[in-house]
Chains A and B, each alone.
Chain A
């Protein structure tokens, strides 16, 4: 599917998600309007993990097949992923202040493990940029992404195993989340996922352009 078609689909889905969030889903009785942040931070958190999984899978395929196209996919997903991880942490923190009374709580493993994911993303780019030779940097980064994959199940299971201040996983439990809220949340998750795919395609094509520019520069010297 072409990028522009996906972009239009993403835009329509996002408009539908905004309608559902503000006009269809009920206002939560305790948190009131602040609860609406939930429809942003959950998709952001999901994309932080999805993008990292794509980065690690790209890294594995790069190590196995030795093809640059997998490294380009891993790099691009990593860059998009770090944007969503940063936004997940920021929106989560803004939600935490009025609900928990603090911007951050180190005793809540969901937050801490997401912050660790952010540092793993940073390490991924740091080892690439510190390596003098590009191929070696890509290899080291692939290893970092594979090792970093261990953080994903920790983030997923954090609310079930060690909860802290974070609410327990209620989204798919019967009687957990209001059905209207669930529809709004799932629409928002799908809309943001489509945006992630569009951004990934955009960043991948940019990475191809960067490679072409490098090749042309070498040719012209």
Chain B
């Protein structure tokens, strides 16, 4: 009976793993990109400030 219920459970696990891995990978991509952009923006802003002070 238990074997019958567990039949094809691997497909279910694979689907949940793919879905969650996809969502997490995208969130990670956005987070890394945002951190890099913020760094670049801050660096450029301080460059522009220095240029303005000269």
Contact = CB atoms under 8 A, between A and B. Distances in A.
B27 A199 contact: yes
Interface string A45-63: 0000000000000000000
Interface of B: 4-9, 11-12, 14-16, 18-19, 22-23, 26-27, 30, 33-34, 37-38, 40-41, 44-45, 47-48, 51
B7 A32 contact: yes
Nearest to A205: B34
Nearest to B37: A209
Q: What are the 5 A-B residue pairs with the smallest beta carbon separation, nearest first? A: A98-B8, A216-B44, A37-B15, A94-B15, A209-B37
B41 A212 contact: yes
Interface of A: 27, 31-34, 36-37, 40-41, 44, 80, 83, 86-87, 90-91, 94-95, 97-98, 195, 199, 202-203, 205-206, 209-210, 212-213, 216-217, 219-220
Contacts of B16: 36-37, 40
- Majority DSSP secondary structure for residues of B touching A: helix
B43 to A, nearest CB: 9
B37 A210 contact: yes
Contacts of A217: 44
B45 A213 contact: no
18 contacts: A27-B5, A32-B8, A33-B9, A34-B12, A37-B11, A37-B16, A41-B15, A87-B18, A90-B15, A90-B19, A95-B15, A199-B27, A199-B30, A209-B41, A210-B37, A212-B41, A219-B48, A220-B51
Which of A32, A97, A217 neighbours the largest number of chain B CB atoms within 10 Å of its CB? A32
A36 B16 CA distance: 9
A87 B12 contact: no
Contact of B40 (A40, A80, A202, A213): A213
A33 B41 contact: no
Given A199-B26, A213-B37, A87 B44 contact: no
Contacts of B44: 213, 216-217, 220
Contact of A206 (B5, B9, B30): B30
Nearest to A96: B11
Nearest to B29: A83
Given A33-B6, A34-B8, A213 B41 contact: yes
Contacts of A86: 22
A121 to B, nearest CB: 14
